[in-house]
Amino acid sequence: MKQTNKYLRKKILVLGLAKSGVSAATLLHKLGAFVTVNDMKPLSENPEAQGLLQQGIKVICGSHPIELLDEGFELIVKNPGIPYRNPLIQGAIAKGINVITEVELAYQVSEASFVGITGTNGKTTTTTLIFEMLKEGGKLPLIAGNIGTVASGVAEQARPENTIVIELSSFQLMGVEEFQPEIAVMTNLFDAHLDYHGSKQEYASAKANITRNQSGEDFFVYNGDQAEVAEIAKGSKAEPVPFSAVKKFPEGAYIEDGYVFFRGEKIISTSEIVLPGKHNLENILAAVAVSKLKGVSNEAIRKVLNTFQGVEHRTQYVATVGNRKFYNDSKATNILAASMALSSFTEPVILLAGGLDRGNEFDELKPYFTNVKALITFGQTAEKLERVARESGITNIKRVDNVESAVPAAFELSDEGDVILLSPACASWDQYKSFEIRGDMFMAAVHKLK
């Protein structure tokens, strides 16, 4: 870890706990800051806050009192999930207090370089592929962010010979100041999290922060098929490295004659790749581009792509029961992700979908319903999804209480050779604390069928 006096004797407020808040508070305390932690959960129900209190860190729990801003804080480290419209954050900005996220703190203390991955969909798969390729290539990667260990915890342990591969959300990227990845990746850009950002323009601006501080010695790996992403690339100072599954970009990664190429070099036949889904070809191309830029051999890349079957909760094969294949795509928290999952299969599909209602309709799913033979719905959006299914000619529709009851209901409606797919097209928070818990409930119900 880099030794820095930047935070020595500075009054800093860590707003919101969870894993990132605990890690940030602990690190700042080690760096000599006067840390105050503020979390909504009452102290009696907050073991994380109790642990920080035992370290001698000041803890205020149960609310976000606006009066905290009278204590003269010089910096706020904000949990990414707390929106900027929060009154305390608004008040801090009005007072000229800098607001960062824990990722920025990690960057400032890290001895290792960063590969940062963002985008609406495909971040986790791309991040995992890059990590596995760098590891296979002997490049000593560490994984961090939404997918792995909290970034500042990883940064504390990282050495100069390491590379931190980090998945980054728009929430995290809104709070960076100096963060400069050696390689930045943008997988794609679609409407998402508009309830948090307010507009697609603000969402895109947050994503663009991943390349904001890059220089001509850095690389920006981006989806060359998307005009909005290509526009962000034009504004980057980094060397542009496009990828495409449909166009040939000689300066980047592409597919030609059934092979993956990088800058004219043949890497692997697409027939050797075991990860299913057309959408995953884009994730693979992005990962190949990063790995080649980091000096990974073709042999190491091929070894990963010959064996990598996907990431948990992302079109994850679960089991075959009664000659029906079950797939867990609980990470499909938006329409685009569900569309991509549906397009991965040619077999008849029993679709399990529903969840948090963010105000959007689901008409964009209609073109992907051609091989959906039945729909099982649950959650707040059940009625909306059922309307779209009926308008698509699907008559076999059943509403259930939750994911657990959806599994046996789907099995009853299925035939041998069918795919039973959990791809909710919605966030989980109306019924489950996370998409991971939702996916775990689905998998447990599948195994119960056995």
Residues in the chain: 450
Q: Please, what's the b/e burial string for 381-420 (b: 16 or more CB within 10 A of its CB; e: otherwise)?
A: bbebbbebbeebebeebbbbebbeebbebbbebbeeebbb
Is residue 285 classed as helix, strand or coil in its secondary structure? helix
Distance, CA of 399 to CA of 385 (rounded, Å): 10
Alpha-helical runs (H) found in 212-320: 227-234, 279-293, 298-305
237 is in an annotated binding site: no
Average pLDDT, the chain: 94
Contacts of 114 (CB under 8 A, 6+ apart): 107, 163, 164, 165, 166, 179, 180, 181, 182, 183
Q: pLDDT tens across 415-426, in order?
A: 999 999 999 999
Distance, CA of 26 to CA of 385 (rounded, Å): 45
- Closest among 34, 39, 6, 9 to 21, alpha carbons compared: 39
* pLDDT tier, 201 (very low <50, low <70, confident <90, very high otherwise): confident
124 is in an annotated binding site: yes
Distance, CA of 100 to CA of 152 (rounded, Å): 13
125 is in an annotated binding site: yes
Cα distances (angstroms) measured from residue 201 to each of 104, 167, 197, 208, 334: 22, 21, 9, 10, 18
Distance, CA of 223 to CA of 187 (rounded, Å): 6
What pLDDT was estimated at residue 310? 83
* pLDDT tier, 197 (very low <50, low <70, confident <90, very high otherwise): very low
* pLDDT tier, 198 (very low <50, low <70, confident <90, very high otherwise): low
Q: Which two tokens stand for residue 223?
A: 């989806």
Domains of the chain: 11-100 (3.40.50.720), 104-305 (3.40.1190.10), 316-449 (3.90.190.20)
What backbone phi and psi angles, to 5 degrees, belong to 404? -60, -45
Contact 424, 431 (CB under 8 A): no
* pLDDT tier, 193 (very low <50, low <70, confident <90, very high otherwise): low
Residue 139 is which amino acid? K
Contact 12, 97 (CB under 8 A): no
119 is in an annotated binding site: yes
Question: Which contiguous run of DSSP H or E holds residue 373?
Answer: strand 372-377
Is residue 15 classed as helix, strand or coil in its secondary structure? strand
pTM: 0.82
What pLDDT was estimated at residue 196? 52
Straight-line distance from the first to the last Cα atom of the chain, in angstroms, rounded to the nearest whole number: 49
The yes-or-no verdict on residue 120 having pLDDT over 60 is: yes
What pLDDT was estimated at residue 200? 75
120 is in an annotated binding site: yes
Contact 402, 294 (CB under 8 A): no
What pLDDT was estimated at residue 121? 86
Distance, CA of 202 to CA of 145 (rounded, Å): 22
Distance, CA of 96 to CA of 190 (rounded, Å): 32
